[in-house]
Amino acid sequence: MATAAPALPRKRILLSGVFGPFGVDDEYGRKENIMELFHNQVTKAQGAASWRYHHRSFGLYFLAANVDADVTVLDFPSRRRFARELEKGYDVVGISFIAPNFVKAREMARLAREISPEATIVLGGHGAAIEGLEEQIDCDHVVRGEGIRWLREFLGQDPGAPFVHPVLPSIERRSILGVPVPGVGASLLVPGLGCVNGCRFCSTSHFFDRKYTAFLPAGRDLFETACRIADLRGTDEFFVMDENFLKDTVRARELLAEMERHGRYFRFQLFSSAEAITAFGLDNLVRLGVEFVWIGVEAGGQQGNYAKNEGIDARALVRELRSRGIVVLASGILCQEHHTPDNMQQDVDFLVGIEPDLVQFMLLTPMPTTGLYREHQAKGLLRTELPYEEWHGQKHLAFQHPAFPGDSAERWLQAAFRKDYEVNGSSMLRVVETALRGYRRLADLPRRDACLEQRMRELREQTREWAALLPTIASNAVNPAERRRALGLDRQVAAALGTPSVRERARRVGARTLAAWWRLRLRLFGDGLQPSTIVTRVRPGLAGIASVGMSAAEETAEELRFAAAG
């Protein structure tokens, strides 16, 4: 009888994000490249009231969950921690990075070649779009676009095997005004990659060839995946990492139908274009459970704007969304080609004047692979002398703009964020206003079905929970106008929901105490926050289980075990 050939040993793979510290000026990075999306690009001018979150390197966990291998995911390591992990011996070392972290990726590849010379070095993430990367960093492969299929093929596995969605939190270390945000926090949901709109500046759209790859192509797929994740993590709230989720209106409607059929109502935070939002319908957003939407407004007029916003009254759209209890983040682009010091203030005033809950201002940046990059490259406008560490859109322009020399672009950006804060108040104040408006709208309906009853209860609880910060917002107000608004809103909440309970009053006192400590901490130590290292071991057969990183104690124990083993 013939004996079966012995099974080949599984590959040992290390997948890592770039090393810290982050948001500091050193030989590897810049202080403006903070590892906090909101504090870096949205609420940065709001001081103690800024939203403080960390987001994991999500793509690494999806790769780990979808291959038959022993995989270690190393997120937010130090340079030393990455080197120590390399000493354990890996067959493949994958490094994910964005362009501003080019120098860190190069140093990590050098360390990998030095410490683990037999390992295959693979570079991925949006930084892989850099032209000629193979000649600039010593590596074996550069993966551009969707990486799961590539890695499966590289390992000799079925590229078309069923997709496995890992179970992950969407954010880490959540706090506002120094007050930890209560609850488990939203889970991550990734329905697919890319966007067919192909806006000329958009790295995501161009990185995936202006196409959309659906991981979860039908509403039923989304619903079943959401149920599994929610049951494991104990929360029905999801952050949807999809560039334009509502673009596929059929799938979104199918998802809503599944939720209503089963009487299970999830809540979603998502990105979507204005044209996709209006096509899906604002009242349908309420039924779907959309509680937050990020919209690319880009500019106030036709000049500097895109097809996705044609025929859209942005001011009316934001007002109607907020009246339904949907938090709006509106993003705009400064220092576009047509901008001058005489006309750019109009776009800043427009973004501030539509009164979204949050505003992102970014400098126009021609990132590699985008149509904008090709246009500026052809015209000889790219600032090739500017190191990639500065290509983060929050300080320098990466192209030659005659109207904004020197540091003028940065000064415009800072002034725009400051004006939004001074005119509209802190984003948390606006969020409480939005929740109360949404609750009142639903409460005033003469009839509500089971779905709308659920949405009304959610908005009532959100309003009650977030209103605990209103006295703290008032005491930390940017100006007297915000203080009056916060105190007046607190009275409105009490009138709509009743006087705060003893427990709620205690939370309010606790919030003010924590905020006072946070202000002191900012004065003494600055506002830099470094994410903790997260180590996740993924073994075959366990990919669908929650990928929970090691705690600090577990990480220390892991280090001690490694040291004891020599």
Cα atoms in the Cβ-side hemisphere of radius 13 Å centred on 452: 15
Residues ≥6 apart with Cβ < 8 Å to 194: 204, 205, 207, 208, 209, 210, 211, 212, 213, 243
- The span from the CA of 154 to the CA of 148, in Å, is 10
DSSP lists the bridge partners of residue 535 as 74
CA 17 vs CA 59, 139, 520, 543: distances in Å: 10, 16, 32, 19
- The span from the CA of 242 to the CA of 265, in Å, is 20
DSSP 518-539: HHHHHHHH-S--PPPPEEEEE-
- The span from the CA of 470 to the CA of 463, in Å, is 11
Q: What is the CATH number of domain 185-380+413-424?
A: 3.80.30.20
Dump pLDDT digits (tens) for 334-372: 999 999 999 999 999 999 999 999 999 999 999 999 999
Confidence of residue 6 (pLDDT cuts 50, 70, 90): very low
DSSP 310-326: TT--HHHHHHHHHHTT-
Closest Cα to residue 530, out of 114, 224, 81? 81
Dump pLDDT digits (tens) for 199-239: 999 999 999 999 999 999 999 999 999 999 999 999 999 99
Cα atoms in the Cβ-side hemisphere of radius 13 Å centred on 202: 23
- The span from the CA of 324 to the CA of 435, in Å, is 8
List the chain domain ranges: 12-164+533-559, 185-380+413-424, 436-525
**Answer CATH for 12-164+533-559 from 3.40.50, 3.10.540, 3.10.450, 3.30.310:** 3.40.50
pLDDT exceeds 50 at position 283: yes
Give the per-residue pLDDT at 92: 98
Confidence of residue 541 (pLDDT cuts 50, 70, 90): low
pLDDT exceeds 90 at position 5: no
Question: Taking the model in full, what pTM does it have?
Answer: 0.92
Dump pLDDT digits (tens) for 494-519: 999 999 899 999 999 999 999 999 99
CA 285 vs CA 212, 243, 321, 451: distances in Å: 22, 17, 9, 12
Query: To 5 degrees, how large is the angle CA 17–CA 18–CA 23?
Result: 125
Sort 561 into a burial class: Cβ within 10 Å, 0-12 / 13-18 / 19+: exposed
**Range in 89-103, 453-467, 497-511, 547-561 with the lowest mean pLDDT:** 547-561
Give the per-residue pLDDT at 564: 36
Dump pLDDT digits (tens) for 170-192: 998 889 999 998 778 999 999 99
DSSP 409-449: HHHHHHHHHHHHHHHH--HHHHHHHHHHHHHHHHHT-S---
**Range in 7-11, 43-47, 151-155, 191-195 with the lowest mean pLDDT:** 7-11
- The span from the CA of 477 to the CA of 491, in Å, is 17
- Beta carbons of 282 and 290 less than 8 angstroms apart: no
Q: Is the dihedral of CA 91, 96, 102, 105 positive or negative?
A: negative
Tell me what the pLDDT averaged over the chain comes to: 92
Give the per-residue pLDDT at 184: 84
Encoded tokens for 61 = 């966990």
Encoded tokens for 441 = 């709208």
CA 319: distance to chain centroid?
24
Residue 564 neighbours by CB distance under 10 Å: 7
- The span from the CA of 335 to the CA of 401, in Å, is 8
Encoded tokens for 461 = 């609880």
pLDDT exceeds 60 at position 554: no
**450-467 vs 249-262: helix axis angle to the nearest 10?**
90
CA-based Rg of the chain, rounded to a whole angstrom?
Answer: 24
Question: Hey, is 230 helix, strand or coil?
Answer: helix
Can you tell me the mean pLDDT for 152-158? 96
Dump pLDDT digits (tens) for 377-401: 999 999 999 999 999 999 999 999 9
Give the per-residue pLDDT at 8: 59
Q: For residue 327, what is the enclosing H or E element?
A: strand 327-334
DSSP 54-75: E---HHHHHHHHTSSSEEEEEE
What is the phi-psi region of residue 388: left when phi exceeds 0, alpha when psi lies from -120 to 50, beta otherwise?
alpha
Give the per-residue pLDDT at 173: 84
